[in-house]
Amino acid sequence: MVYQHGPIDSPVVVELLQGDSILDESTLHSGGESQQLQTVTQLTDFVLCLGQPLMGFERAAQQARDIRRARPDRVSPLLVQNYSLDQWKDLPPDARGWEAVDVCVITSECIIPEALGSLLQEWVRQGGRLVLIGGEQVTSDSSPGLSSWLPVRRSGAVTLRDITSLNTSIPGSATLRLREGSLRTMQWAAESGAVLSSSLDGPLVVRAGEFQGTVTAIALDLNAPPFVSTMGERTSISWESLPDLCRWLAGLKLIPKLEEGSQRPQSDLNPTGVSDLQTQLVNTLDRFPEVTRPSYWVVLGTTLLFLLIVGPIDYLLVHRLLKRPHWTWLTLPIWIALGGVVGLSAASRTGGTRELTRQLDLVTWDAQQGEAQLDSWLTIYSPGHHRYEVTCEPGLMHSDVVQADTHLRWAGRPEAGFRGLYRPTGIHGGATVEQTTDGRAIQSLPIRHGASTVLEAKSKWNSVPPLTNELFDTGDGHLKGTFSHQFDGELVDWVLAYGSFAHLPPRSDEGVEAPLKSGQTIRADQVPSRLLADYLVRLSTRSVLRRDGKSSDYSVGRAVYDPLSRDLYTLLRTASFHEVVNGAAYTGLSNSTLQNEDMTQLISSHRAVLFGRWQNAAYHDSEEAVETIGGSREPLAAQFRLDGQPVSPRYRECFVRWILPVKQSPRTSSAP
């Protein structure tokens, strides 16, 4: 059973139906430990362990709980759920039920069946992070459900003599040594992946991309020496940095060391009301120039003015000027009626008189695997009370695509304030949303007068995109080779991200960036490049002339991220490479809802990501809802329908992300 909640503490009513009659009904409440449901917010890092429990992950969860009691701002909640072999039948049988899972860990002895393996593959391709645990006896990689698609393979057995390279991956960790001098284990290999940690005897940790997700494999067993020691029936952690290693493998941020004098927790007050990138996205999409809402200061000032009129001004009028105190029984209703008329008149002028829509499309396409995903957001503004029937069909794709898997749902703000998901539940009589069981349509979407709703549609299909690329890693993290596209349209403001570098479009003599047109070939080593993190934060150097007029001082600064900005290009680019800019340390916002859109782990796993704004005829003219232009193929929008009629949004933007494979050139070196 898959459903999407409203307010986080609202009850869940479960009904047993036979036809149209209700046989039984039960109400489940979430919240405390004594309730039937455990509440997990989007800020929670949810780790699912299949097989044996891993002490490192359990200790990491305990550390997060202990730290959050004093400093909830330092680390996100971490929930670790263990599922043994006989409990696998309780796992969600639908990939949508896995959306809450951030990381899935498979221990070495597991044999994953085909049905579960197919769900894991679909979940990983949606942005999930899979971690494989190694050891001398590993059977998981040869499972029927994993062997056909895993991007990492077992390359044989090896005897490790030194594994201290893991210390460099975990800053401040205790020295890791092999007490007996050597350790017999297996070895992983990834043809198109990257080695994250290596020893003299071979790689220890490898990571490979699988569409939007990643698969990370460690050659060692985390439940065995030198990480865990066993004395009799007692098992304990022998390497104190094992919880940090588990967080690193899972792609979770390491817990920063507590500075001296910083025991006081930060305030929970947020002056902007925006704490997550999803909230900034919804706020941006939920704005229409035709609907001019008064600011909070105007509303507060008007309220104070009304209180002055019905209070001191009315008193001076009837007592001092008219000298008829009993006339207050007449003047007070007049002031109230006049205030109501003025309020209704102002509301009708600022509330809009027609239905408005706004659409945003994000196309992600893997050039090697042919996997494609279209994320579309649609904002509907209703000038009156109405129940909408909403459907969504993928727009421009290849002609050989028979059908795309599409799911439609509403997009909420992960906030505790007004219209937020984490607000206390209220009374919403008659505001029931009716959705089809397959999630492909919303049969009844109630929108009140002057209100709006943001919907999200996610479509997936398999098709080889018309992209041509021959990109190579020179061995030092730089790209060489060419890439081009054959779509009918052009890509503007594009950036090719790989590793630590950003390859940028060439500029004209006037400083204008050139768009990437159809059929145009770009050589990666002949375009401007700079460090990716510096480019994303717009790092700049400014010179200031000294007083002597002969020399200058230089200062380096970066742009401040604005959570109230309405620039969708900057927002989606930041969401796509959120961890590159050091995450919330730079933006001040979490990325819990859109974390599957983060491509940071991909660009460090021998994948290049080309991001940019898409332009073609359909986006220059919103009335031109076409499926092909001149018979060519191109990624474009989803087609929404309201009450059976196609929607032509007045505001529509499209961004694309092309995931390109990068081949590894042999490293050339000479003897000293």
Model pLDDT for residues 415-427, shown as the tens digit of each residue: 877 677 777 766 5
Decide if 289 is inside a domain: no
Q: What is residue 400's predicted lDDT score, i.e. its pLDDT?
A: 47
What does the alpha-carbon distance between residue 271 and residue 286 come to, in Å, rounded to a whole number? 20
What value, to the nearest 5°, has the Cα angle with vertex 126 and ends 195 and 529?
55
Q: Which helix (H) or strand (E) holds 302?
A: helix 296-308
- The region of weakest confidence among 105-114, 288-297, 429-438, 589-598 is 429-438
Specify the pairing of strand 202-210 against strand 194-199: antiparallel
Report the mean per-residue pLDDT for the chain.
85
Confirm if 374 and 396 have CB atoms less than 8 A apart. Answer: no
Confirm if 3 and 11 have CB atoms less than 8 A apart. Answer: no
What does the alpha-carbon distance between residue 169 and residue 4 come to, in Å, rounded to a whole number? 38
Specify the pairing of strand 183-189 against strand 194-199: unpaired
Tokens of 247: 């967080």
Q: What is residue 415's predicted lDDT score, i.e. its pLDDT?
A: 84
Residue 181 has pLDDT above 50, yes or no: yes
Looking at the structure, do residues 239 and 129 belong to the same domain, yes or no?
yes
How many C-alpha atoms does 317 have within 13 Å on its Cβ side? 14
Looking at the structure, do residues 35 and 45 belong to the same domain, yes or no?
no
User: Sorting pLDDT into bands at 50, 70 and 90, what band is 613?
Assistant: very high
What does the alpha-carbon distance between residue 204 and residue 163 come to, in Å, rounded to a whole number? 8
Looking at the structure, do residues 20 and 120 belong to the same domain, yes or no?
no
Confirm if 521 and 510 have CB atoms less than 8 A apart. Answer: no
User: Sorting pLDDT into bands at 50, 70 and 90, what band is 536?
Assistant: very high
How many C-beta atoms lie closer than 10 Å to residue 378's C-beta?
26
Average pLDDT score over residue span 176-198: 87
Average pLDDT score over residue span 296-325: 88
Q: What is residue 277's predicted lDDT score, i.e. its pLDDT?
A: 94
**pTM of the complete model:** 0.87
Residue 431 has pLDDT above 70, yes or no: no
Looking at the structure, do residues 238 and 151 belong to the same domain, yes or no?
yes
Looking at the structure, do residues 34 and 49 belong to the same domain, yes or no?
no
What does the alpha-carbon distance between residue 496 and residue 508 come to, in Å, rounded to a whole number? 19
Give tens-digit pLDDT for 395-416.
644 444 456 778 898 888 888 7
**Between 647 and 425, the higher pLDDT residue:** 647
Looking at the structure, do residues 211 and 70 belong to the same domain, yes or no?
yes
Residue with tokens 């005829």: 617
Q: What is residue 600's predicted lDDT score, i.e. its pLDDT?
A: 95
Domain region containing 336: 296-350
Q: Which helix (H) or strand (E) holds 601?
A: helix 600-603
Looking at the structure, do residues 123 and 28 belong to the same domain, yes or no?
no
Looking at the structure, do residues 542 and 455 belong to the same domain, yes or no?
no
Looking at the structure, do residues 321 and 433 belong to the same domain, yes or no?
no
User: Sorting pLDDT into bands at 50, 70 and 90, what band is 671?
Assistant: very low
**Between 216 and 141, the higher pLDDT residue:** 216
Give the Å distances, CA to CA, from 363 to 130, 390, 608, 641, 650: 23, 21, 16, 20, 20
What value, to the nearest 5°, has the Cα angle with vertex 452 and ends 446 and 453?
70
Residue 110 has pLDDT above 90, yes or no: yes
Single out the residue of 156, 163, 147 nearest to residue 220, CA to CA. 163
Average pLDDT score over residue span 350-376: 88
Q: What is residue 104's predicted lDDT score, i.e. its pLDDT?
A: 97
DSSP count for the chain of H helices, then E strands: 13, 36
Specify the pairing of strand 651-661 against strand 356-366: parallel
Decide if 317 is inside a domain: yes
**Between 599 and 99, the higher pLDDT residue:** 599
Decide if 280 is inside a domain: no
Average pLDDT score over residue span 162-188: 86
Examine the fold and report which residue of 223, 249, 275 is the final residue of a domain before the chain moves on: 249
Q: What is the Cα Rg of the chain in Å?
A: 29
Give tens-digit pLDDT for 632-641.
444 556 788 9
Looking at the structure, do residues 158 and 52 belong to the same domain, yes or no?
yes
Examine the fold and report which residue of 429, 462, 495 is the final residue of a domain before the chain moves on: 462
Decide if 276 is inside a domain: no
Buried b or exposed e, range 247-278, using 16+ CB within 10 angstroms: bbbbbbbbbeeeeeeeeeeeeeeeeeebbbbb
Q: What is the CATH number of the domain that holds 87?
A: 3.40.50.880
Average pLDDT score over residue span 350-370: 88
Specify the pairing of strand 103-106 against strand 45-50: parallel
Q: What is residue 632's predicted lDDT score, i.e. its pLDDT?
A: 44
What value, to the nearest 5°, has the Cα angle with vertex 534 and ends 531 and 536?
105
Q: What is residue 15's predicted lDDT score, i.e. its pLDDT?
A: 84
Average pLDDT score over residue span 29-42: 67
Residue 41 has pLDDT above 80, yes or no: no
Using a 10 angstrom Cβ sphere, with 0-12 exposed, 13-18 middle and 19 or more buried, the burial of residue 446 is middle
Looking at the structure, do residues 397 and 514 belong to the same domain, yes or no?
no
What does the alpha-carbon distance between residue 438 and residue 454 come to, in Å, rounded to a whole number? 20
Average pLDDT score over residue span 493-518: 92
Percent of the chain exceeding pLDDT 90 equals 48
Q: What is residue 625's predicted lDDT score, i.e. its pLDDT?
A: 43
Number of domains observed in the structure of the chain: 5
Q: What is residue 626's predicted lDDT score, i.e. its pLDDT?
A: 41
User: Sorting pLDDT into bands at 50, 70 and 90, what band is 261?
Assistant: very low
Cα-Cα end-to-end distance for the chain = 64
Average pLDDT score over residue span 197-206: 92
Residue 664 has pLDDT above 90, yes or no: no
